[in-house]
Structure formats: C-alpha cells, structure tokens
Amino acid sequence: MTSTPATSFTHDQIRTYQAQPNSLADKIILVTGAGSGIGRVAALTYAQHGATVLLLGKTTSKLEEVYDEIEALGGPQPAILPLNLASASYTEMQQLENLISKEFGRLDGILHNAGILGELTPLEMYDIDTFAKVMQVNFTAVFMLTQALLPLVKAATSGSVVFTSSTVGTHPRAFWGAYALSKQGVEGMSDIFTQETQATTTLRFNCINPGGTRTNMRAHAFPGENPMSLKTPEDIMPGYLFFMSDDSIGVRGQVVALQPK
C-alpha cells in the first residue's frame, strides 16, 4: 500500500486513543449503517463527543431509535437519511449531497460502515445475485457515495473518510466469497483515493478493520461462537474516534486492525 506513515501515531496508539470529551464539537459526520451494530455505537459515540451525526441506513425505524438515543444523551440534534445502498441511484446520492450542503453547509467526516455478509460458500457455488448484491452494498455503493459527497468533504477544513474493511479483506480467505472481495476492493479504493488526493487536498482516507465484534453480522458468520467472548462495539470506539478527530489530520492511507491477533 502506498501511504504516508501515521504521523506520530502508531497503530497501537490509535487502538488505545483517548479522545477529549468535546473532540468532535462542531463536526458534521455521516455514518452509514447507523441503525444497528457497530454503526449505531459509532453514531452515539460521535454524538457524545459533540458531533452532529447524519444517520444513514436502510431501516428507518432503527435510525429513529438511534435518533432518540442521541437526543436522550443530550447530543447535538442528529438527522435521519434513509437510503437503501443496495438499490440507491447515483442521482439519489447527489440529491443527498445537495441536501447536506443546504441543511448543514459542510461535511467533515464519512464513516462507511454499512455492510452485508452474503454467503459463506466456495466461489464455485456462489450465487450470482447474492454476489452482485454484496458487491453493490459493500463496494460499489461505497464508491458512488464517496464520489457524490466528495465536494463536501473536500471543502471541509480537515475532511476524513473512513472505510470499513475486515481481516478477510486484508488476507482473502476461502469461503468468504464476495464479502472478502468487496473488502479487498474497499482497501484498494482507500489507497487510490489517498494517492489521487494527497498532493492537492487536506482530505484523508483510511480503513478500519474492526476485528471480531459482538454484532448480528458476526453471529451469522460464526453461529457456534460464544458472543460474550467478543469485544463489544463500545470496546473498539477509540479507533473510530481517532480517525474523525483532528488528531488524525495528516494520517492517510492506513489500514488499522483494531484487534490484531
């Protein structure tokens, strides 16, 4: 990976980063897949640190629950952006860019977190429609949304785009099919965006690999596993906070595993 080294932060320091209580004050941050799992906790955590969070996801009722949770904890008023990444058009994403521009005037951060697992099966037998859907949600829609929102994050003083990878994205593994391939693509996308922007903008692109975390997706992937043996989304939030905070200015093109083996 062609990248600038992580200024003064090692990956260990990113994993154990301690954010100041108001470190995200005045930031506008969009989180995809904000209705459940890691995305929900990231949205709540960003709001707790002062950010105005734009909650994007497929199921409006789940986003409404997160909205209420943010209000209950006294965070800045969030916004709900229902969007199905499996079917959303590029025009809809440009409309989203217009809406954010009009309502908020800027966008400081994007956490691309939404994702689906698809099937765990050999490529030889992989269902073609499922393959296309996984690639659409986990990869193509991530590219489309990033491109559509680029004018906004480029205009921010210190824009940060964070992609979500996986261990099988960094090291492809048998039976992980489209999921592994989509995450490999995401890592490549982050690298290419970094190379194409680092000379001319302050905008930074990085990837987080959360590692095995107690969510519905993990339970589907490893049904025999005891969920209590896993870290919770809350446990891994230091890395999520780091990449949205100004402490990560200048950190570009990194893939940080939050739970290295």
The residues that touch ligand NAP, with contacts defined as CB under 6 A, are 33, 35-39, 57-59, 62, 84-86, 113-116, 137, 164, 166, 210, 212-213, 215-218
Smallest distance from the beta carbon of 215 to ligand NAP, in angstroms? 3
57 or 253: CB nearest ligand NAP? 57
Contact residues for 203 (Cβ-Cβ < 8 A; gap 6+) = 153, 154, 156, 159, 160, 161, 197
Rg (CA), the chain: 17
75 or 233: CB nearest ligand NAP? 233
Smallest distance from the beta carbon of 207 to ligand NAP, in angstroms? 10
Smallest distance from the beta carbon of 61 to ligand NAP, in angstroms? 9
Burial status of residue 76 (CB atoms within 10 A of its CB: 0-12, 13-18, 19 or more): middle
Number of helical H runs and strand E runs in the chain: 10, 7
Smallest distance from the beta carbon of 164 to ligand NAP, in angstroms? 4
3-state class (DSSP) for residue 210: coil
Smallest distance from the beta carbon of 173 to ligand NAP, in angstroms? 12
Q: Could you tell me whether strands 109-111 and 28-32 are parallel, antiparallel, or unpaired per DSSP bridges? A: parallel
Q: The tokens of 169 are what?
A: 């994205």
Assign residue 39 a region: left if phi > 0, alpha if psi is -120 to 50, beta otherwise? alpha
Q: One of 17, 67, 179, 240 is an active-site residue; which one?
A: 179
Q: Which amino acid is at 22?
A: N
Between the CA of residue 149 and those of 60, 62, 79, 104, what are the distances in Å? 21, 24, 16, 13
49 or 218: CB nearest ligand NAP? 218
Nearest to 58 by CA among 25, 34, 27: 34
157 or 216: CB nearest ligand NAP? 216
198 or 210: CB nearest ligand NAP? 210
Residue with the CB atom nearest ligand NAP in the bound state: 37
Active site residue 90: no
Catalytic positions: 179
